[in-house]
Amino acid sequence: MGKYSYQQYTDGSVLTRATQDVNRYFPQRGFTASWVFVSTWDYVQTRNTSVFNLHSAPAITFQVVLISGGGFSFILMNYGDCAGINDYVEAGFDTVNSTDYYLIHYATNGSYIPNLKNTTNVNVPGRWAFLVNSGSAPEIFYPFGTSGDTINPADDDGSSSIIPLLSPFLFFGRTYRQIYVNNNGHLTFNQASSQYVPYSFPAKGSQDIIAGLWTDLDNRARGVVSYNQYTSGSVLTRATQDINNHFPNLTFNASWVFVATWDKVAYYPITNTETSFQVVLISGGNYSFILMNYGNIAGTGLPVEAGYDTVNSTDFFVIPGSKIGSFISNLKNSSNVYVPGRWAFRVNSGSKSNNDNVVGLQVKLSSVFDLKDSGNIEVVLQQIKQVLVNKGLPSNIELKLRKLQKIKP
């Protein structure tokens, strides 16, 4: 039962639609589709050990669309009605030796797959989009490699010298006028850090830290670590547009941008690996933000972590999957703002008053994490908090999980 079909296109309305879709999900690329391949599984029934009548077996509907043009290639995965099943399932992609792969979390359990039509990484329910060609830095990266950049010394576990900021940066209630770019993938404010093994957030420690991808990186044999800051020009225009897209209703204007880039840096001691990412600090008015942009990230067996932590961990965030070295190639397709490869955070914080309101909220939560693990609960609460902050709530809000006890009448 059901219908399998495929077709490819080199002209016409399908190419026009593909061009529009890709430019919406991967902006600033000026992409034009020259070829589209559409493969569709339309109401195809599945083998299910609990159903003996094939005509009453569960059915699923989905598409895989391949798009290419001008040296770029993309995959769209479109999901319609998918019945839950008892069989093993998986959705995503994998490569030779798994140098690149992605697993859609909701597709790891047959009973969860009806959710696929409501999930997305590009703000279109039921659609997942991936850039799958490999090459230069993605368009989400801010400019780097220019004559104005300062390059860190090629030194294992090295750091920049102290960098005076051209504008103060507010980070969860503390104002900083200096920063350090550390070769091992993180930024610190009070002193340089050579630490190459990440500690787990929340650390409840004594320093503020921003970890683009904290691990044992080595720029001696391969890769460049650089930074630059801007107070005028096209970079501020771009930052203003990005922040207003990611955090609408703020009417934000960027007055300062700091860009730190790790370009094709190797892991220690595996010098043939390449990992590229950026941390972008943006401020203007009383607002401050962080963008973390991810390009091609090599998998690794080293300890890794991406996110941020604060003094006493009053605020922290761990990007899901970033603590598993074999999984971090997925970062270039993950997002919290529906721009694959980008994570955006509002990090300014106002002072707390004595009149803070306490609000109780009861919700039904479905998560891909094991919520019996207290560490996973903390991560999920921080994800919910970041969504609320993105929607305009103050970043000093606190979320606490309380056990609800039913009282029998």
User: pLDDT band for position 352 (50/70/90)?
Assistant: very low
Domain containing 84: what range?
A: 3-131
Residue 161 lies in a domain: yes
The mean pLDDT value for 115-128 works out to 86
Contact yes or no for 213/262 (Cβ under 8 A) = yes
- 14 and 127 share one domain: yes
Mark which of 346, 365, 400 sits at the end of a domain.
Answer: 346
Rounded to the nearest 5 degrees, what angle is found at the Cα of 288, between the Cα atoms of 283 and 290? 100
- Give me the pLDDT at residue 114, please: 82
- Give me the pLDDT at residue 2, please: 80
- Ranges 9-13, 144-148, 253-257, 338-342: which has the least confidence: 144-148
- 77 and 180 share one domain: no
> What is the torsion angle, in degrees rounded to the nearest 10, for the CA atoms of residue 45, residue 46, residue 47 and residue 49?
-110
Residue 234 lies in a domain: yes
- 106 and 56 share one domain: yes
Contact yes or no for 285/250 (Cβ under 8 A) = no
Task: Choose between 42 and 179: higher pLDDT.
Answer: 179
- 96 and 240 share one domain: no
- 273 and 222 share one domain: yes
User: pLDDT band for position 357 (50/70/90)?
Assistant: very low
- 53 and 114 share one domain: yes
- Give me the pLDDT at residue 400, please: 66
pLDDT at 162 exceeding the cut of 90: yes
* Span 199-211, pLDDT tens digits: 999 999 999 999 9
Residue 15 lies in a domain: yes
3-class SS at 73? strand
Rounded to the nearest 5 degrees, what angle is found at the Cα of 170, between the Cα atoms of 293 and 197? 50
User: pLDDT band for position 234 (50/70/90)?
Assistant: very high
- Give me the pLDDT at residue 43, please: 77
- Ranges 133-147, 259-273, 345-359: which has the least confidence: 345-359
- Give me the pLDDT at residue 92, please: 85
How many domains does the chain divide into? 2
Q: How far apart are CA 101 and CA 99, in angstroms?
A: 7
pLDDT at 241 exceeding the cut of 60: yes
User: pLDDT band for position 360 (50/70/90)?
Assistant: low
Q: Which residues contact 310 (CB under 8 A, 6 or more apart)?
A: 171, 172, 208, 316
DSSP 208: -
Mark which of 100, 131, 162 sits at the end of a domain.
Answer: 131
- 56 and 111 share one domain: yes
Q: How far apart are CA 186 and CA 275, in angstroms?
A: 14
Mark which of 131, 164, 187 sits at the end of a domain.
Answer: 131
pLDDT, the chain, mean: 83
- 160 and 256 share one domain: yes
- 217 and 291 share one domain: yes
Residue 384 lies in a domain: no
3-class SS at 52? coil
State both tokens at 113.
């797959």
Question: Buried b vs exposed e over 156-181: b needs ≥16 C-beta within 10 Å?
Answer: bebbbeebebebebbbbbeebeebbb
- Give me the pLDDT at residue 263, please: 94
- 174 and 318 share one domain: yes
Q: How far apart are CA 311 and CA 309, in angstroms?
A: 7
pLDDT at 391 exceeding the cut of 50: yes
Residue 399 lies in a domain: no
Q: What share of the chain is helix, strand, coil (3-state, %, to 5)?
A: 15, 35, 50
Contact yes or no for 277/298 (Cβ under 8 A) = no
Task: Choose between 273 and 369: higher pLDDT.
Answer: 273
- Give me the pLDDT at residue 51, please: 44
- 123 and 190 share one domain: no
Residue 229 lies in a domain: yes
Q: Cβ of 112: how many Cβ atoms within 10 Å?
A: 17
Beta bridge partners of residue 66, listed in sequence order: 37, 75
Q: Report the candidate in 263, 162, 280, 149 with the shortest Cα–Cα distance to residue 217.
A: 263
Distances (CA, A) of 404 to 293, 380, 384: 39, 18, 19
Residue 376 lies in a domain: no
Distances (CA, A) of 78 to 46, 87, 106: 18, 21, 14
Residue 88 lies in a domain: yes
Contact yes or no for 275/329 (Cβ under 8 A) = no
Predicted structure pTM score: 0.66
* Span 291-338, pLDDT tens digits: 999 999 999 999 999 999 999 999 999 998 899 998 899 899 899 998
- 315 and 214 share one domain: yes
- Ranges 93-107, 337-351, 361-375: which has the least confidence: 361-375
